[in-house]
Amino acid sequence: MSSPQSNNTRSTIFATTILLDGCLPTLGFSRGKVEKEVEPPRMEVRRSSLLSFRDDGDGGEEVQVPPPVEVAEAAQEYMSTVSLTLEQEQDALSRLTLPQWGDATTKYRRYTSEALTARQNQLSAIMSDVYSSRDAWPFNYTLHPKLEEFLHDGGQLVGPDDIAMDHKEYLKRSQRAVKSARGFDELCEASPDTVKIAFTTELNRPLQLVRAPSLLSPDGESGGRSLIGWSLSHPEVSIGCRVTDDSPQWVMRNEGAQKAYGDSVKADIEASEHDIKSLTLSPETTADDFAEYTQRYENSVFVKAAYLTAKRLTYVDDGECTDEGMLREQMETDGEDTADVRLVDGHLVKAAWLNPCMYAVVTGQLPRERGFYTSRHEEYKNSIKEGLAVMQSELDQQERRAETADVGSSAATTWGTWSM
């Protein structure tokens, strides 16, 4: 494509499609009832930036300049036409088959990928048609298939909700959402005389970066680049547990029994060990390292709770009770999917892990809005980056043997913002 110029100024529209959230199974309210739903991906398909560059005429590099008024007006007209055409055309996703409740995780992930490609192809065709509808525009355009390329070329995300979904985070959340959907089905399918326990887990604190009052000597001697005074604060887990309203009346009237079931769930989860490679803080540690450790920890909690705790606390009629040693032997022999079969005080119990969103719906609370987890992930990483920048600055001061009295007297500070 040619590069239209106006008064030695070259202008380009950079556009892309932003994936804000992926496809997931979820629960919603409809006419006072809990309904199974599948949320399609959420995308922003018209994000664009107009950049202009001027040649200084001396053979040097182009310099970025404000777009000429006539170019900005033409670009606005062009993108308005593109947006209107997108709204008028049939949604590209209508030609795809939305996954169904109960489908495997891979189907949700595949649909998310296919939906993004379909939207991008649709945008590409429309931008080409609109551009060709006129003999000349005072700019060219580039449609980037990846957000990273869009940002690298100078594109900007100006909308308040323009926070792209983290792919690794989505992979973990989709795994948990599908397991949660199965857990909800199991609760619904349990017999009427079964005590049904819905429980959830969530990190109420991620891995955080902490600066305590520095332990540097009064004269500022620190022995080089020392991390004395800097440490990690490890994640904490919150546990929610509720005996569901469709459980037998005897347990719904007995708050003590409900509390006992809840205490059993919490005790089992809190006793679980998480075999995760620890993160060692160093000058090379990045915000991605913090985010990945937090994701691994959260997923480890999920696996232990959704598979092991749910198994240990689920009792179905088999006429006998097995002890913990027998249960461990059964799990080692048959794997995670083997049902735990035993009776406790003659009562049948079904325990199932639900993700926080489904748990909120089941317990009559408002679930978080879509985009919450993507926003929290971005906010967390930005907070860690800020803390690491402070750490690097103080290390550089030490290396230059600069005045460190202020560092030594600094108040304890924590980085790693985590909205709840």
Percent of the chain with pLDDT over 90: 59
How far from 179 is each of 130, 245, 270, 348, 369, CA to CA, in Å? 45, 22, 20, 22, 20
86 and 155 housed in the same domain: yes
Burial status of residue 122 (CB atoms within 10 A of its CB: 0-12, 13-18, 19 or more): buried
Checking if the pLDDT of 273 tops 90, the result is no
Average pLDDT over residues 62-68: 87
pLDDT tens, residue by residue, 371-383: 899 889 999 999 9
Checking if the pLDDT of 105 tops 60, the result is yes
156 and 261 housed in the same domain: no
pLDDT tens, residue by residue, 315-331: 876 543 333 443 344 33
101 belongs to a structural domain: yes
Who wins on pLDDT, 223 or 346?
Answer: 346
229 and 374 housed in the same domain: yes
283 and 382 housed in the same domain: yes
Which of these ranges, 64-78, 164-178, 209-223, has the smallest mean pLDDT?
209-223
143 belongs to a structural domain: yes
53 belongs to a structural domain: yes
186 belongs to a structural domain: no
Q: What is the total count of domains within the chain?
A: 2
145 and 106 housed in the same domain: yes
Whole-number pLDDT of residue 342: 37
409 belongs to a structural domain: no
Domain of 81 in residue numbering reads as: 9-165
Residues 306 and 353 sit within 8 Å (Cβ to Cβ): yes
Question: Hey, what are 153's tokens?
Answer: 């070329």
pTM score over 0.85: no
141 and 210 housed in the same domain: no
161 and 202 housed in the same domain: no
141 and 283 housed in the same domain: no
Question: Hey, what are 173's tokens?
Answer: 């959340």
220 belongs to a structural domain: no
Checking if the pLDDT of 158 tops 90, the result is no
Report the phi/psi class of residue 343: left, alpha or beta, with left for phi > 0 and alpha for psi in -120 to 50: beta
Whole-number pLDDT of residue 100: 97
353 belongs to a structural domain: yes
104 and 40 housed in the same domain: yes
Whole-number pLDDT of residue 218: 46
244 and 360 housed in the same domain: yes
407 belongs to a structural domain: no
152 and 298 housed in the same domain: no
pLDDT tens, residue by residue, 125-155: 999 999 999 989 999 999 998 888 888 888 8
146 and 265 housed in the same domain: no
DSSP sequence for 98-136 = ---TT--HHHHHHHHHHHHHHHHHHHHHHHHHHHHTSS-
**Among the listed residues 358, 375, 376, the one whose alpha carbon sits nearest the alpha carbon of residue 367:** 358
Calpha distance 24→41 (Å, rounded):
8
The alpha carbon dihedral of 106, 110, 112, 113 has a sign of positive
